[in-house]
Amino acid sequence: MKVTVDQDACTGSGQCVLSAPEVFDQRDSDGIVVLLNDNPAAHQHEDVREAERICPASAITLTRP
């Protein structure tokens, strides 16, 4: 799984961080998403899919390598 984020679309809701904290973080200054790992381990895939699903800005994109 390859993860990309659109920081311009991000609204800083933080739902991704709550769902997959090993993959996503937020900037302290404005709460915008920071991608910590663009190729998460298999055991993280379910949490990352949930983060993509609940992102209110649709700022997370998942693709298969």
- Dmax (CA) of the chain: 32
As for how many domains the chain has, the answer is: 1
| Assigned token pair, 64 | 């298969």
**Domain span at 44:** 2-63
pTM listed for this prediction:
0.94
Closest by CA to 5, choosing from 20, 41, 43, is 20
Are 3 and 60 in contact, with CB atoms under 8 Å apart? yes
Alpha helices per DSSP H over the chain: 15-19, 45-54
Digit-coded pLDDT (tens) for 1-58: 999 999 999 999 999 999 999 999 999 999 999 999 999 999 999 999 999 999 999 9
Q: Find the CATH number of the domain harbouring 48.
A: 3.30.70.20
pLDDT at 65 over 90: no
